[in-house]
Amino acid sequence: MFKKILVPVDGSEFSEKAIAIACDLARSMNSELYLVQAIAQLEETYILDTSINVPSERETLLLPHRQRIGITNPMATLATDYLTTLQRRLTDQGLNVKTHVMEGSPAAAIIDYAVTIQSDLIVMSTHGRSGLGRWLIGSVADRVVKHGSVPVMLVRP
Q: How many CB atoms lie within 10 A of CB 103?
A: 14
Q: Are 35 and 82 contained in the same domain?
A: yes
* Residue 67 predicted with pLDDT over 70: no
Of 115, 128, 76, nearest in space to 99 by CA: 76
Q: Dump pLDDT digits (tens) for 11-28.
A: 888 888 899 999 999 999
Q: Are 50 and 99 contained in the same domain?
A: no
* Residue 50 predicted with pLDDT over 90: no
Query: Quick one: what percent of the chain has pLDDT higher than 70?
Result: 71
Least confident of 38-47, 70-79, 80-89: 38-47
Instruction: Provide the domain count of the chain.
Output: 2
User: Do the Cβ atoms of 126 and 152 come closer than 8 Å?
Assistant: no
Q: Are 138 and 109 contained in the same domain?
A: yes
Q: Are 101 and 53 contained in the same domain?
A: no
Q: Is 43 exposed, middle or buried (0-12, 13-18, 19+ CB in 10 A)?
A: exposed
Q: What is the mean pLDDT of residues 113-119?
A: 96
Domain ranges, residue 59: 41-69
Pairing state between β 96-103 and 152-155: unpaired
Q: Are 104 and 88 contained in the same domain?
A: yes
Q: State the pLDDT at residue 129.
A: 56
* Residue 68 predicted with pLDDT over 80: no
Q: What is the CA radius of gyration of the chain?
A: 19
Q: Are 91 and 105 contained in the same domain?
A: yes
This prediction's pTM: 0.77
- 4 or 40: whose pLDDT is higher? 4
Q: Which residues of 21-38 are buried (b: 16+ CB within 10 A; e: fewer)?
A: bbbebbeeeebbbbbbbb
Residue 42 pLDDT level (bands cut at 50, 70, 90): low
Among 69, 87, 112, residue at a domain's last position: 69
Task: Write the CATH number for 117.
Answer: 3.40.50.620
* Residue 45 predicted with pLDDT over 60: no
Q: What is the mean pLDDT of residues 125-136?
A: 59
Q: Are 26 and 95 contained in the same domain?
A: yes
